[in-house]
């Protein structure tokens, strides 16, 4: 398995130099998610959650901590607030490196990914009303194209390539998989990928 281990400083520098793609689409709700990286045994891991089955949107799906951007917030404020509400992740232990490109979803959201390094994952607890499980996946797993299962799905008469990843009895796909692939591509960790950046889930 390829082991992508870009440094915290490299990721921060790239994000700060990047002219990120901002989506402005009328009628869509703004949301933000935290791409939470933490180091374990010398590799980066991504922090993910499984949403409960009774939420109004994306029930039971694998997602980054996150949610709607409230009035007066920016995407960083929203991602950190939602992470604290959903999994008890204190903002003080997150070193925000920057924001990556927005994507939009057919379910009516524009999602801004916020990239941060979590300096301690001790004491995380799922909010039982929103999160049924907290888990993590090595970043290297997503960089291995042998682990990606592309499928062609149709939505509103349009065919799209959608990637599925299966890890620890969970299936990661949709907006979450797209955000991960965009981030890896941005870091140069999908050298064989021919799709290019995608801004719609």
CA 195 to chain CA mean position, Å: 18
pLDDT of 34: 98
> Cα dist. 183→100, 101, 126, 132 in Å?
7, 9, 25, 25
pLDDT digits (tens, 9 = 90+) for 169-195: 999 999 999 999 999 999 999 877 777
Question: CA 188, CA 84: separation in Å to the nearest integer?
Answer: 30
Task: Record the pTM.
Answer: 0.93
Q: For all residues of the chain together, what is the average pLDDT?
A: 92
Between 178 and 199, whose confidence is greater?
178
Domain annotation for the chain: domains and CATH numbers: 8-142+178-186 (3.90.79.10)
pLDDT-based confidence at residue 30 (cuts at 50, 70, 90): very high
pLDDT of 1: 44
Burial (Cβ within 10 Å: 0-12, 13-18, ≥19) of residue 194: exposed
Q: Are 103 and 5 in contact (CB under 8 A)?
A: no
pLDDT of 55: 63
Secondary structure (DSSP) of 106-129: TTTEEEEEEEEEES--TT----TT
């Amino acid at each position: 398995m390829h082991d992508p281990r870009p440094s915290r400083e490299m990721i921060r520098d790239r994000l700060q130099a990047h002219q990120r793609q901002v989506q402005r689409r009328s009628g869509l709700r703004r949301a933000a998610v935290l791409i939470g990286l933490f180091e374990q045994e010398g590799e980066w891991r991504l922090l993910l959650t499984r949403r409960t089955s009774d939420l109004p949107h994306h029930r039971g799906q694998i997602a980054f901590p996150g949610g709607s951007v409230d009035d007066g917030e920016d995407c960083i404020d929203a991602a950190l607030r939602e992470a604290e509400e959903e999994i008890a992740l204190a903002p003080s232990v997150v070193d925000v490196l920057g924001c990556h490109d927005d994507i939009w979803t057919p379910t009516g959201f524009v999602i801004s990914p916020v990239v941060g390094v979590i300096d301690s994952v001790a004491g995380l607890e799922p909010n039982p009303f929103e999160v049924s499980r907290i888990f993590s996946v090595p970043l290297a797993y997503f960089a291995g194209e042998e682990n990606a299962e592309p499928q062609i799905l149709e939505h509103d008469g349009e065919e799209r390539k959608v990637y599925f990843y299966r890890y620890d009895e969970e299936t990661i796909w949709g907006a979450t998989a797209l955000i991960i692939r965009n981030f890896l591509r941005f870091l140069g960790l999908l050298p064989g990928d021919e799709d290019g950046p995608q801004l719609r889930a």
